[in-house]
A and B are shown apart, each in its own frame.
Chain A
């Protein structure tokens, strides 16, 4: 056993990055003076940088941090996956809960063919983004982690509130419980209730990614992760390598069994550098002190055994087949037959461009949904076609778009939502409110209401009313204020729909403008 200190350093690195990640997810809310650190979470992914740049049609310099980290793989190898990636850390630490089998070698067996899957995934993702379909966002580990932990945070938030609420039912603990809740609301909980539409789908994908560990450790990282594929490609020429001292190695296979990435071959002597995440577990597993990590330049490697036998690698033929398959499959991902109908209620956040531009650039990270102070932004599933999965949508009945707020556009890491200034919010139309008279209280009953007008935040009110005197069944007269919407002023923020006191679906609803030309 040799120098176990380094595995501890590595564990500390994972813990540190994971903790920072989680704290940032929690703190991703109003007030945010500077959104750049939050955007960095996604901008450290070179994969997202490439696909978003393809979507934008121009190189996005904001993703430079991702390319720097990728370039670091030349000296360091695939360190990112083992030391930094929050999803990798999550997979490492949940694997123990999932895997029931013993740490047997049969789990570690790395079939040569399957190793190229992640390159296929990467090619499909990038080819799709060239066609305006952002698959990358759905599968990128950082995007997936931010989105999933946003949903997990909503679970955590409701769970704690539920527990405190339960405690408050116990006599004498009521005030104390409420006090605790107020402290938590000031701290790491949300002030209002949060729940996301289709949270189950987001969570299910997350569970699948974690659950793959059942088949082999770090299954996702080995075979599927597109960012892992980017780093693997560069790591092939990485300098920082696992070096085996053949004079000491007894081919006991201890390291091969221990390796979570299945990167050790040839009875412990050869290393697949594209899969070695520098976790250093082999180092501590070796009883014969035969392994060390050090800089070894590929062009200087004399012994061929240090390099992995090629086997069934990723060939040009694979690339062509994948590309052809993607092109054939693309039409399947386009919007469904009912797209025109469902798009009427597809209210995008302020700053979104045309539907195609937006879908091409949105990497589905869910940060806009996390920062939205009203819980108004939610992921859609297939409303906008399969290619629109997990893009954000405003659901005003759950939470409106606060006019004195531009957090979602501030935090968007790709510019799918362009930076919107507060001053321009009054001009930026995201939808229009329409009154459903059969539900509206003053129209359908002889009672006052006008809550929608009261709430309307546009400077001169986009909801006005006419007065009408009616004779009630008992003969008395009542003068009612009947609301109507000024379509040219209404920006579609939806606070009227949210606050409408009618139960169930509101008597005033926001949708795309009636006369908006078809896209």
Chain B
């Protein structure tokens, strides 16, 4: 009679097979599940020559190449959501919204891989004006992506180990997408100091957004915990260094001609802070995130792949 702990050869093979397939599955799905993000701090930083559309397109391609190509993330038939910042009724030169050329380039790369791409945001400005004057409406159409206004479908999701929040209403299309690309622009913000990838998630949250401004730093960390994003592309082609996020003089706009790509928004934002010459540890939401083990915020310990385009 076999001891309960004994295991037959057949059992052993079956279990081993399950474990191995599990590892393979885990590996292949990790970008989807956002699991690898906390461990590896790999980000791609691409420096462009100028702000021409061609250059920006090349920057996007270089960034993907540095992280293993679009094939490492995008599969045929995937439903991809790109969430840029389309918050404001302002031309691209004012650095309020994500660079439309970058949105177009990334959407194109995803579509070339056989994905369906949808683009949306919940603007603070009148929707039609923000979509059109940001240039993102025509950018999306040029790329063949679907661009639409946001509807009313929010699903309340739990915030695992939330600092402030227990639950959060999140836009359904974000939750149902196969792959979410968070595409913020880097800007000054008087309360959060800087608004980048983590703060950009506020655009897919329902309800009264003004209410999240009390203890904003902690709330921002909770957004990242609750909202799945698989890739973050920080637009620092133009940045707004003062009077952000919704005004500023021409002198406040600088153009570092840089994009930062990574799977973990915390790491991307930490690098983004250095573009402004700020120590990431001085940003409240980054220190909260770092303390919660959500990602490396010390730039020296990050694995940075630098490219030029």
What residues of chain A have their CB less than 8 Å away from a CB belonging to chain B?
29-31, 165, 168, 174-175, 178-179, 181-182, 185-186, 191-192, 373-374, 402, 404-405, 441, 447-451, 453-461, 465, 481, 499-501
Instruction: Indicate if the CB atoms of A402 and B126 lie closer than 8 Å.
Output: yes
Q: Report chain B residues within 8 Å CB of A404.
A: 89-90, 125, 129, 133
- Chain B residues 231 to 270 lying within 8 A of chain A, measured CB to CB, are 243, 245-249
User: Given the interface contacts A175-B153, A191-B149, A501-B211, does A457 sit within 8 Å of B129 by beta carbon?
Assistant: no
Q: Report chain A residues within 8 Å CB of B149.
A: 182, 185-186, 191
- Bound CA–CA A501/B125 (angstroms): 16
A to B CB contacts below 8 Å, 17 in the list: A30-B128, A31-B132, A168-B152, A175-B172, A178-B152, A179-B151, A186-B148, A192-B127, A373-B128, A404-B125, A404-B133, A447-B214, A448-B191, A449-B213, A453-B190, A460-B247, A461-B247
The 3 closest A-B pairs by CB, nearest first: A501-B210, A373-B126, A178-B151
- Bound CA–CA A122/B22 (angstroms): 86
- Bound CA–CA A178/B152 (angstroms): 7
User: Of B129, B172, B208, B248, which one neighbours A30 at CB under 8 angstroms?
Assistant: B129
B216 in contact (CB, < 8 A): yes
Instruction: Tell me whether chain A's interface is mostly helix, strand or loop, or mixed.
Output: loop
- Bound CA–CA A241/B214 (angstroms): 75
Instruction: Indicate if the CB atoms of B152 and A181 lie closer than 8 Å.
Output: yes
B124 in contact (CB, < 8 A): yes
- Chain B residues 191 to 233 lying within 8 A of chain A, measured CB to CB, are 191, 208, 210-211, 213-216
In the complex, how many angstroms separate the beta carbon of A395 from the nearest chain B beta carbon?
16
In the complex, how many angstroms separate the beta carbon of A373 from the nearest chain B beta carbon?
4
B94: nearest chain-A partner, CB-CB: A404
User: Given the interface contacts A174-B153, A374-B126, A404-B133, does A456 sit within 8 Å of B216 by beta carbon?
Assistant: no
- Bound CA–CA A458/B213 (angstroms): 21
B61 in contact (CB, < 8 A): no
In the complex, how many angstroms separate the beta carbon of A472 from the nearest chain B beta carbon?
13
In the complex, how many angstroms separate the beta carbon of B189 from the nearest chain A beta carbon?
7
Instruction: Indicate if the CB atoms of B246 and A457 lie closer than 8 Å.
Output: yes
In the complex, how many angstroms separate the beta carbon of B51 from the nearest chain A beta carbon?
21
What residues of chain B have their CB less than 8 Å away from a CB belonging to chain A?
89-90, 124-129, 132-133, 148-149, 151-153, 172, 189-191, 208, 210-211, 213-216, 243, 245-249
- Bound CA–CA A456/B246 (angstroms): 7
In the complex, how many angstroms separate the beta carbon of A11 from the nearest chain B beta carbon?
36
Q: Report chain A residues within 8 Å CB of B211.
A: 501
Instruction: Specify which of B132, B149, B216 lies most central, judged by the most chain A CB atoms within 10 Å of its CB.
Output: B149
Q: Report chain B residues within 8 Å CB of A481.
A: 190-191
In the complex, how many angstroms separate the beta carbon of B197 from the nearest chain A beta carbon?
18
A426: nearest chain-B partner, CB-CB: B247
Q: Report chain B residues within 8 Å CB of A178.
A: 151-153
In the complex, how many angstroms separate the beta carbon of A498 from the nearest chain B beta carbon?
10
User: What would 11 more interface pairs be, CB under 8 Å, given A30-B132, A165-B152, A453-B191?
Assistant: A31-B128, A186-B148, A192-B127, A402-B125, A402-B126, A402-B129, A404-B129, A459-B249, A500-B210, A501-B208, A501-B210
User: Given the interface contacts A191-B149, A459-B249, does A405 sit within 8 Å of B129 by beta carbon?
Assistant: yes
In the complex, how many angstroms separate the beta carbon of A372 from the nearest chain B beta carbon?
9
Q: Report chain B residues within 8 Å CB of A402.
A: 89, 125-126, 129
Instruction: Indicate if the CB atoms of B126 and A30 lie closer than 8 Å.
Output: yes
Q: Report chain A residues within 8 Å CB of B172.
A: 175
Q: Report chain B residues within 8 Å CB of A179.
A: 151
- Bound CA–CA A192/B245 (angstroms): 22
User: Of B127, B133, B247, which one neighbours A458 at CB under 8 angstroms?
Assistant: B247
Instruction: Indicate if the CB atoms of B247 and A456 lie closer than 8 Å.
Output: yes
User: Given the interface contacts A186-B149, A451-B210, A481-B191, does A191 sit within 8 Å of B248 by beta carbon?
Assistant: no
In the complex, how many angstroms separate the beta carbon of A495 from the nearest chain B beta carbon?
8
Instruction: Specify which of A374, A453, A457 lies most central, judged by the most chain B CB atoms within 10 Å of its CB.
Output: A457
A455: nearest chain-B partner, CB-CB: B246
Instruction: Specify which of A29, A181, A402, A454 lies most central, judged by the most chain B CB atoms within 10 Å of its CB.
Output: A454
Q: Report chain B residues within 8 Å CB of A165.
A: 152
Instruction: Indicate if the CB atoms of B247 and A450 lie closer than 8 Å.
Output: no
- Bound CA–CA A174/B155 (angstroms): 12
B151: nearest chain-A partner, CB-CB: A178
Instruction: Indicate if the CB atoms of B210 and A499 lie closer than 8 Å.
Output: yes
Q: Report chain A residues within 8 Å CB of B153.
A: 174-175, 178
Q: Report chain B residues within 8 Å CB of A500.
A: 210
- Bound CA–CA A168/B153 (angstroms): 9
Q: Report chain B residues within 8 Å CB of A181.
A: 151-152
Q: Report chain B residues within 8 Å CB of A501.
A: 208, 210-211, 213
In the complex, how many angstroms separate the beta carbon of B236 from the nearest chain A beta carbon?
20
In the complex, how many angstroms separate the beta carbon of A452 from the nearest chain B beta carbon?
10
- Bound CA–CA A447/B133 (angstroms): 35
Instruction: Specify which of A181, A373, A465, A481 lies most central, judged by the most chain B CB atoms within 10 Å of its CB.
Output: A373
- Bound CA–CA A119/B111 (angstroms): 67
- Bound CA–CA A98/B229 (angstroms): 59
- Bound CA–CA A457/B124 (angstroms): 12
Instruction: Indicate if the CB atoms of A455 and B124 lie closer than 8 Å.
Output: yes
Instruction: Indicate if the CB atoms of B128 and A191 lie closer than 8 Å.
Output: yes
Q: Report chain A residues within 8 Å CB of B191.
A: 448, 450, 453-454, 481
User: Of A29, A451, A459, A461, which one neighbours B128 at CB under 8 angstroms?
Assistant: A29
Q: Report chain A residues within 8 Å CB of B243.
A: 459-461
In the complex, how many angstroms separate the beta carbon of B90 from the nearest chain A beta carbon?
6
A404: nearest chain-B partner, CB-CB: B89
User: Of B90, B125, B151, B213, which one neighbours A451 at CB under 8 angstroms?
Assistant: B213
- Bound CA–CA A24/B215 (angstroms): 47
